A and B are shown apart, each in its own frame.
Chain A
Amino acid sequence: MRLAAIGFLAAIAACAFTAGLWTHASYETQFREAPDAAPSAKFPLGTDALGRDRLSRLVYGTRVSLSLAPAAAGFSCAAAALLGGVAGWAGGFAEIAIMAAADLFLSLPWMFLLLLVRAWLPLNVPAGVSVAITFALLGALGWAAPARVVRAAVRKLRNSDFMLLAEAHGCTPWRLLWRQLIPNMKPILLAQFWIAVPAYILAETTLGMLGLGIAEPLPSWGGLLRELEGGDVVSRWWLLAPAVLLTAVTLSLQLLRPRQEHSL
């Protein structure tokens, strides 16, 4: 199943990143003679109300999600590694302060935090800026949960026999960190990364569907799914294409993440 998931994601990523080579129009090109067209040989998923090719928009939207969600996840994991690592390694006041900040972030549902900070930032910004804002927010607000995991793991490693032995043999703190701690933290950080990627894709989609995500004309899965509002999906089934692709991609990403017995 994991191999199938990797194959599927690789195929989707290849299609998304070579979109310019095989789609016949850009995501913003308008075919004004064919607005809201049904699927045809020229437009396999039809066109939207502005006459833009839905397939092109779906492929370019996929590119946005598949490139920026991992970037945001990488950013939040790096922040979590730094803050959680300092808290677990140094202990004392640093640990109390960092964990209090993590508690504060975790005490609020994520969607509330996103709404709050997104509302603080301007809504009428260029599309590129809105992409950066959306995913930077996801990365910046998502550090708390992985930081707690990292801090617990660092504390456990710090007190482990092999670390004590290395310390007793005169290993310097820098060498302990570089040669013993960081290599052992890699699987934990990788697990947190794979948990964060689908979560960020879903969060961006929800923000987009609420009109607070990536600005037009740049497509995103959330923005594309807004077309479902008021649309008759029984007779216009092709409107569900972004939902099907989103589900398949997040399902595949869930298959890739390391199995965690007791996590939400």
Chain B
Amino acid sequence: MRFPVRQFARILAIVLIAGVACALLARFSPGATVDERELNPKAGEDTIAAWRADKQTGLTAGLANYFRGMAKGDLGYSESNHAPVAALIADRAGATLRELGIGLLGGWLVGLAFAIPAGRFQRASTYDALSAAGAAALLSLPAALIAYLCVLAGAAPAIVLMMVIAPRIFQFARNLLREAYRAPHVETARARGVSESRILWMHALPAAGPQLIALAAASVSIAIGAAIPAEAICDVPGLGRLAWQAAVARDLPLLVNLTMLVAVATTGAAMLSEAATKGKS
């Protein structure tokens, strides 16, 4: 029981610290205490004074209000989108989750599909060189450029995430599987005539399992990071595009909430992967 409790406490602490840090950034950003509506010549003095009072909230009071609102599900208001942040996130989350799901699943399948033969046939140097060169070439392209190329080719945005994830999975899994296939018990199993598929499923993959599970959490974080340029360039109405628009429009309240949401997602994935690794070992 101690492990999940400690992990939940860790996630909560990280998310709270991230939230406070983000709120501090928002509070002290240039122009944070100025409301652009003040430029409206039709606004009366009382209205302007009310806007200023609203913006001049003290730091502690501002933070307290923010967390009190959050407890009630009120994440604030996005000035650039003229909509409540909670509604915006709920509206856009579906597209991003779908894209992340397809991208991660595809990236893992493609990465492993190329890594397994490279790990199994260690003397197939041409295959290994070609697959490693392909992975290195993909790793040399920024996600934004891959997104442009996918737009030009008419490919789905999830392909961008697949192309970002797959080479990383390939490189890591290939090295792990190479080690696993070199293990003495695998050599013995092969000498005894055990089938290759049985060796893969019963010996090689279980040996590499804990480290591959640990990689799963890292791949979630990488995919979320790549979703920003992918959605911004492929014009997907998801959370990545929302984050980019918030950054360009300096809509810090929206960006703060998105950052905390991402912190929850990545630390949650890390916790699950850590729990699974502990279960395996």
Please list the residues of chain A having a beta carbon within 8 angstroms of any beta carbon in chain B.
100, 103-104, 107-112, 115-123, 198, 202-203, 205-206, 209-212, 222, 225, 228-229, 233, 243, 246-248, 250-251, 254-255, 261-264
In the assembled complex, the CB of A221 is this many whole angstroms from the nearest CB of chain B, namely 9
Q: Which residues of B contact A206 (CB under 8 A)?
A: 142-144, 229
CB <8 Å contact, B142 and A209: yes
Cβ-closest 8 pairs across A and B: A109-B225, A209-B144, A250-B140, A119-B247, A111-B225, A115-B247, A202-B142, A205-B142
Given contacts A104-B18, A107-B266, A264-B222, 7 further A-B contacts (CB under 8 A): A108-B221, A112-B262, A123-B250, A209-B233, A228-B148, A251-B140, A262-B176
Inter-chain CA distance A199–B141, complex, in Å, is 10
Q: Which residues B213-233 have CB closer than 8 A to chain A?
A: 215, 218, 221-222, 224-226, 228-229, 232-233
Inter-chain CA distance A67–B229, complex, in Å, is 25
Q: Which residues of B contact A225 (CB under 8 A)?
A: 144-145, 148
Residue in A107, A115, A250 whose Cβ sees the most chain B Cβ within 10 Å: A107
CB <8 Å contact, A115 and B244: yes
CB <8 Å contact, B259 and A107: no
Q: Which residues of A contact B59 (CB under 8 A)?
A: none
In the complex, B81 has a CB within 8 A of chain A? no
Q: Which residues B11-62 have CB closer than 8 A to chain A?
A: 13-14, 17-18, 21-22, 25-26, 29-30
Please list the residues of chain B having a beta carbon within 8 angstroms of any beta carbon in chain A.
10, 13-14, 17-18, 21-22, 25-26, 29-30, 136-137, 139-145, 148, 152, 168, 171-172, 175-176, 211, 215, 218, 221-222, 224-226, 228-229, 232-233, 243-244, 246-248, 250-252, 255-256, 258-259, 262-263, 266-267, 270
Inter-chain CA distance A210–B137, complex, in Å, is 22
Q: Which residues of B contact A212 (CB under 8 A)?
A: 247-248
CB <8 Å contact, B222 and A109: yes
CB <8 Å contact, B148 and A198: no
Q: Which residues of A contact B143 (CB under 8 A)?
A: 206
Given A110-B225, A116-B22, A116-B259: A247 and B140 interface contact (C-beta under 8 Å): yes
CB <8 Å contact, B228 and A115: yes
Q: Which of B140, B224, B251 contacts A109 (CB 8 A)?
A: B224
Q: Which of B144, B175, B255 contacts A261 (CB 8 A)?
A: B175
In the assembled complex, the CB of A198 is this many whole angstroms from the nearest CB of chain B, namely 7
Inter-chain CA distance A254–B17, complex, in Å, is 35
Inter-chain CA distance A192–B233, complex, in Å, is 31
CB <8 Å contact, A198 and B140: yes
In the assembled complex, the CB of B182 is this many whole angstroms from the nearest CB of chain A, namely 12
In the assembled complex, the CB of A232 is this many whole angstroms from the nearest CB of chain B, namely 9
Residue in B148, B247, B266 whose Cβ sees the most chain A Cβ within 10 Å: B247
CB <8 Å contact, B218 and A122: no
Inter-chain CA distance A152–B85, complex, in Å, is 41
